[in-house]
Amino acid sequence: MRSQTEPSDEAVDATRAAVDRAVANLLARQLPDGSWMGELESNAAITAEYLLMRRYLEVTDTAREAAAIRYLRSQQQADGSYSIAPGVDGDVSVTAEVWVAMRAAGVPADDPAVAAARRFVADHGGIHATRVFTRIWLALGGLWPWSELPVVPPEWVLVPGHRIGSIYDLASWARATTVPLAILRTLETVFPLAGPSRSELPLGAPVPPVGSLTWRSVDRLVRLYGKLPKIGLRRLALAEAERWVVRHQERDGSWAGIQPPWVYGLMALRARGHGLDYPVLRRGLEALDTFGIEDEQGFRLQACVSPVWDTALALWALLDAGLDRDHPAVRRAVDWLVDREVQGLGDWAVHVPGVAAGGWPFEFYNDQYPDTDDTAIVLCALDAAGHRRDDGTPAGAAMTRAVNWLQAMQGSDGGYAAFDRDNNRHWVERLPISDFGEVLDPPSPDVTAHVVEAFTRCGGAELARRRALAWLRASEEGAGAYFGRWGVNYVYGGAATATALAAAGERADRERLLRLGRWVRRHLHDDGGFGESVLSYHDPRHIGQGEATPSQTGWALLSLLAAIEGSQGLDGGDELEGAALAAADWLVRQQREDGSWSDRLFTGTGFPRAFYLRYEMYATVFPLMALARVVGPDKGLKGPS
């Protein structure tokens, strides 16, 4: 007799059919070189800044501008604002940047969309209420006085990297942005705009400055220093900052593979007197356009691209679904990933000297900044494809180097950050420019869990694995909740943690896994879906709450399956199995005819409380991975034989 939580024949057949359709969809989306890459959507400020940068550098293209403006119009909310993510109220900084960009591109001030955006800014504190980086964009166009913005002395780059107070105290992304910004701020660079005029700015009332009192005092002292004769020191510092920028350009022309240091780098080189024919500038401009997407909505710029991440996840999901390891798609993906291995030393080596390179980046090329999260996921995918460390293949050799590199990147507390080891000098958080996103890269449960799973699967790092496991266990918040740094939010951190603990298979984690599974079950919607809003980073009342999405329901199902597997023998398994069946049924019902799923909301995290993303691939990869584990031969919800 079948138990109440055992899936019916019809449910098993429907799930297997959904898996087959999703496999066919992913195979059809594989690119000829063996990779996968979906769109990485963010907010409208990225495209607005692209428009402004092109105006500043006098790289204008009427058709491109028109397409970008069409996209910006499509993103405007009913109240005239632009938000940091769907379902979130308008953001004054994003709206101000879009308004200025549209005016700079020649859209009249009385255009209804432009007027509505300006009105929103005026009603929400004006330009004074925007973040520092928005006012930096205005200063670059001559619309805001540089004297009212924090100083960023280029002498910062002269501090030895291993010393406290160097630019290497900043997180990788903040560091890569700050160096070119120091050039622009020091030169008080202005690229004059034809419009808007200063008189158009809705200023609003002044607001208290950002940064602690101590660091605001330091800012005043640095301003005084800037007025003194430097006997060549300032000239030396600017030259070294420029060399730093040039050295950090990647092979594809990008900087750190992300938009902020890229656009600031281009403008800084122009401010230093280089023409658009300067090879570094030319490569950077040409490469930036490859991050653009143009369709019926218009033209938009991606803040980043995610081919390594997408490829590793897609490969892993297909292998979970039973695709043969000898399938041509698997072989092409493995070869592509191996070719993307980072083999040169990057910024991470400043604090981790004497260690050989290894690992993978997020993007096509990011030799300066490989990251532990991508490296862990690639290792898991290569292991699923049948490769082993030192198995005599290029993949096996790359895995060995990656495991060695990951061990060296472990924090002193046992946890794992994404890009650096022990990036925890909190003084940088008090700087007057630190009002947007994160400026440190601390360890997180999601990254640490991925590394634990990679070490468990690949071996060769037992001491590091046990230290990471201890850190992960200690990161539990409340009953079964684990923070998600790079995905929204606790359901993402929970899925990474649950699958890692289940893979580790230690008896001591059975109760922990059961708590985690119960946390997911408590927040599951009545119809089996799961959603958690980006607002969960802003207000704890939103934790585990929100409109259901396929990617988050996939994470919830992965958590439940891992909890069921890892807590066997404890009371409570039936309730988790019922929740898992409901989540699987929701995913089957939400699948589109072409075998894919689609997220309406953003479920990726760039900076909590500031910058969010929608990974196009997430909505299909994670439901496929989860459903494949529901009906897989070694999983807990097999149904009748």
pLDDT digits (tens, 9 = 90+) for 43-67: 999 999 999 999 999 998 999 999 9
- How much is the pLDDT for 5? 60
The residue that leads in pLDDT, 181 or 206, is 181
Quick one: what percent of the chain has pLDDT higher than 70?
Answer: 95
For the ranges 257-261, 310-314, 630-634, the lowest mean pLDDT is seen at 630-634
Burial class (CB in 10 A: 0-12, 13-18, 19+), 572: middle
Q: What are phi and psi of 613, to 5 degrees?
A: -140, 155
Token duo for residue 213: 């009192």
State how far Cα 558 lies from the chain centre: 21
Helices within 459-549 (DSSP H only)? 462-474, 490-504, 510-523
> What was the pLDDT predicted at 641?
27
Long-range Cβ contacts of 105-112 (<8 Å, 24+ apart)? 105/51, 105/55, 105/65, 105/68, 105/69, 106/65, 106/194, 106/195, 107/69, 109/195, 109/196, 109/200
Beta bridge partners of 360: 371
- pLDDT-derived band of residue 640, with 50, 70 and 90 as boundaries? very low
- Res. 639: pLDDT tops 50: no
pLDDT number for residue 211: 62
At residue 638, does pLDDT exceed 90?
A: no
**DSSP letter string over 114-159?**
HHHHHHHHHHTT-GGGS-HHHHHHHHHTTSS-GGGS----GGGGGS
Return the axis-axis angle of helices 490-504 and 510-523, rounded to nearest 10°. 150
Evaluate whether 97 touches 134 at the Cβ level (below 8 Å): yes
Backbone torsions φ then ψ of 36, nearest 5 degrees: -125, 145
The domains of the chain, with CATH numbers, are: 1-30+512-634 (1.50.10.20), 45-199+229-301 (1.50.10.20), 303-425+439-475 (1.50.10.20)
Residue 491's pLDDT band (cuts 50, 70, 90): very high
User: Does residue 3 carry a pLDDT above 70?
Assistant: no
Please answer whether residues 250 and 365 qualify as being in contact, where contact means their C-beta atoms are separated by less than 8 angstroms.
yes
Give CA–CA dist 173/436, Å, rounded: 12
Q: What per-residue confidence (pLDDT) applies to 457?
A: 97
pLDDT at 515 over 90: yes
The whole-number average pLDDT for the span 355-375 is: 95
pLDDT value, residue 541: 96
Please, which pLDDT band fits residue 1 given cuts at 50, 70 and 90? Answer: very low
What pLDDT is recorded for position 118?
98
pLDDT-based confidence at residue 632 (cuts at 50, 70, 90)? confident
Can you tell me the mean pLDDT for 591-605?
98
Residues known to be catalytic: 373
What average pLDDT does the chain have? 94
Read off the pLDDT of residues 97-108 as tens digits, 9 standing for 90 and up: 999 999 999 999
Q: Which tokens in the block code for residue 406?
A: 């990951």
Q: Which residue has the tokens 């862990």?
A: 376
What is the reported pLDDT for 568?
Answer: 87
SS3 state at 556: helix
Q: What is the pLDDT of residue 207?
A: 81
- What is the mean predicted confidence (pLDDT) over 5-31? 92
Section 461-485 average pLDDT: 97
Least Cα distance to 66 among 90, 40, 47 occurs for: 47
CB 180 within 8 A of CB 267: yes
d(CA 260, CA 306) in angstroms, rounded, equals 16
Average pLDDT over residues 152-171: 95
Side-chain half-sphere exposure of 229, counting CA atoms within 13 A: 1
**Phi and psi (nearest 5°) for 487?**
-145, 155
Q: Is the pLDDT of residue 15 over 60?
A: yes
> Per residue in 219-270, pLDDT tens?
677 677 776 666 689 999 999 999 999 999 999 999 999 999 999 999 999 9
